[in-house]
Amino acid sequence: MRRRVVITGLGLVTPLGQGKDALWEGLTLPRRVVGPITRFDATGYSTRIAAEVKDFDPTQFMERKDARRAARFIQFAIGATHLALQDAQLAITDANREQVGVLIGSGIGGIDYMDTQVRLLDRHGPDRVSPFLPAMMISDMASGMVSIHFGIKGPNLCAVTACSTGADAIGLATRLIQYGDAEVMLAGGSEAAIEPIGIAGFCAARAMSTRNDDPEHASRPFDAERDGFVMGEGAGVLVLESLEHAQARGARIYAEVLGYGMTADAYHITQPDPEGDGALRAMRKAIHDAGLQPTDIDYINAHGTSTRYNDAKETLAIKRLLGEDAYRVPVSSTKSVTGHLLGAAGAVEAAICVLALQHQTVPPTINYEHHDPECDLDYVPNTARPATLRYVMTNSFGFGGHNSVLVLGQV
């Protein structure tokens, strides 16, 4: 029998602020954080808006010299891990450090550090390039630096599956605990891609909203007038423990990771399968892994990017999963508030599902104003809703055809 895995700590750095309370209050008020890009001069870009993390000071969590050498996604990961350990009231000590592991992914990694160093190379030649570049640009360094910073000596690895990264990190970390490779895992995702080359690339792909004159209403999943996603940034790290370990130390338990499913579309580098087949199979696998039936799901936190194709195909997949029950189950996209955090999205949205279970409330899809015939489910428009929640599901789908789904439940 595999071991049960529970969630005992939440660490969040998001455009809504630091910590779980800032995230939940911002979602349920809701608070609008999408605005003009301030990290660089976006004049001339087709998209000039984003959901930035403001007022983040990495020296709250690490030495100033270490912060100067670290890419922004690493700073976010260390900050979120600090908050998660604090929330879980878990100290890393000589007695437990070999039983604790880290699995923090990033879809893009240190693009800010690489962008800066390429500019130095162009202007001043190779001698000016930082020796820290090879380490700071690779996606696994969030896990590596968290391990070094906190002295964690258990399993240490990284998931990189585009926008499925955060969910896969939690799912794979759960497996490591279930099969005895660790007692505790710090799992999640971190991303900081609001940089000139990052924004330019997604602009060229025509994937982002160009509602530059009305940024607060630009992220509008499932709405008929959606025109692309809004990029966000930040990190989400969850403390996962075996149930026995959590109980032995008297930990507060938020929820249980019940199921994990992952599939591939094997269809297109960016577009989902036109019948929602990969998403459907991932949801079925996660529900089966949880020992549940589709009708047991009380709420779905959708991938819901605000792109025309993704939202329609995810809706189709949910209807194929649930049949007529699809119209009973609330489905919301919290990316309408936070923007799309790319590789961090799945982890932040898993934390949102934990908070939904805790508060027995479904967060809304804001900016939902115009009905789309292809998107006809209950998207919890604009206002949070009290609900009886026992089992919740969160979807994450990524470029390359990755589909990852988690099912969480009350303990």
The answer for residues whose C-beta is within 8 angstroms of residue 20's C-beta and 6 or more apart is 10, 12, 87, 351, 355
Cα 271 from chain centroid (whole Å): 19
* Selected catalytic residue, list 82, 245, 303, 402: 303
User: How many other β-carbons are positioned within 10 Å of the β-carbon of residue 89?
Assistant: 13
Report whether the peptide linkage leading into residue 363 is cis, meaning its omega lies within 30 degrees of zero. no
| Crossing angle (nearest 10°) for helices 277-289 and 308-322 | 50
Helix (H) or strand (E) holding 332: strand 331-332
Q: Is 245 a catalytic residue?
A: no
Which tokens in the block code for residue 170? 């939690």
Q: Coil, strand or helix: which one is 344?
A: helix
102 with 147: CB under 8 angstroms?
Answer: yes
237 with 11: CB under 8 angstroms?
Answer: yes
User: How many other β-carbons are positioned within 10 Å of the β-carbon of residue 226?
Assistant: 27
Dist CA 103 CA 257 (whole Å): 16
Q: Is 203 a catalytic residue?
A: no
* Selected catalytic residue, list 82, 158, 163, 203: 163
Dihedral over Cα of 324, 326, 330, 332: its sign? negative
* Selected catalytic residue, list 340, 353, 375, 402: 340
Angstrom distances, CA of residue 353 to CA of 55, 229, 306: 26, 21, 19
Q: What is the number of alpha carbons within 13 Å of residue 384 lying toward its C-beta?
A: 19
235 with 80: CB under 8 angstroms?
Answer: yes
Least Cα distance to 22 among 70, 67, 87 occurs for: 87
Residue type, 74: I
Beta bridge partners of 287: none
Which tokens in the block code for residue 78? 């260390």
Q: Give me the active site residues, please.
A: 163, 303, 340
